[in-house]
Amino acid sequence: MPPKIDKKVEVPWYWDPGPEITRKTIGIYLAWKDYLFYDRAGRKIDEILTPYTALSTGDPDYPVLVYLYRDYPGAAYGVQWEGKMEDVFDGRIDGIWPVRLEGGTVLRRVTPVLYHAGVHRWFRADGKGMPRRMHVVEADGSGLWEVLGVQGTTRSELGRAFGKKDFFPDQVDLKAYPMEKTLTFTP
């Protein structure tokens, strides 16, 4: 975790694109099929969302690429929901996998998002083949909020901001599903 300090730090390679990125890219996914992470007791982890950096792409249609950190402190189980990404959540679990975190206590998903200049909207980028798309870190991104002046948020805060219900249950009965493999994540 970054050290606590009284003032913000200027970092030349960092640019905070602001809360619009988090709200517009993640907020619309609250009710869609996805996989989420739960703790050892089967309680849903309120993911911590931090827009980390923005880069110029050189593409006039998609001029800005932003990396969004999606952190799950204490992730112990991954829960996959049935359906396609475009489908509305139907409440059926496709599978549950135990998660082992090596070298840290927080599972981080890195989600790339692109700004479309023509329609003035943010979209998820593909990110296939991106190294360290999911990895383990020692502390969640909320420590950056104060140090770098980042405007981060959580999944539950986004739901409230958009007036949307998070359809994924707060608790999952872990004993009700067979667990065939363990997912191991490293730094």
Amino acid at 175: K
Q: What gap in Å lies between CA 71 and CA 141, rounded to an integer?
A: 7
pTM summary value: 0.76
Domain total of the chain: 1
What distances in angstroms separate CA 135 from CA 86, 130, 140, one per listed residue?
26, 12, 12
Q: Identify whether 181 is part of a domain.
A: no
The pLDDT value given to residue 2: 42
Q: What gap in Å lies between CA 69 and CA 150, rounded to an integer?
A: 12
Q: Identify whether 98 is part of a domain.
A: yes
Q: Sort 26 into a burial class: Cβ within 10 Å, 0-12 / 13-18 / 19+.
A: buried
Mean pLDDT of the chain, nearest integer: 76
Reference 26, options 149, 113, 118; nearest CA is 113
Reference 24, options 117, 133, 115, 118; nearest CA is 115
Span of 7-11, 47-51, 85-89, 167-171 with lowest mean pLDDT: 7-11
Q: Sort 136 into a burial class: Cβ within 10 Å, 0-12 / 13-18 / 19+.
A: buried
Q: Identify whether 8 is part of a domain.
A: no
Express each pLDDT in 114-133 by its tens digit.
Answer: 877 787 777 777 777 777 88
- Averaged pLDDT for residues 51-63: 80
Q: Which domain holds residue 45?
A: 19-162
Q: Identify whether 186 is part of a domain.
A: no
What distances in angstroms separate CA 5 from CA 100, 139, 143, one per listed residue?
32, 16, 11
What are the tokens at 7? 């003032």
**In terms of pLDDT, which residue wins out, 21 or 142?**
142
Does 14 score more than 90 pLDDT?
Answer: no
Q: Identify whether 118 is part of a domain.
A: yes
Q: Identify whether 177 is part of a domain.
A: no
Which residues is 107 bridged to in the sheet?
72, 136
Q: Identify whether 168 is part of a domain.
A: no
The pLDDT value given to residue 20: 52
Q: Identify whether 115 is part of a domain.
A: yes
| Three-class SS state of 149 | coil
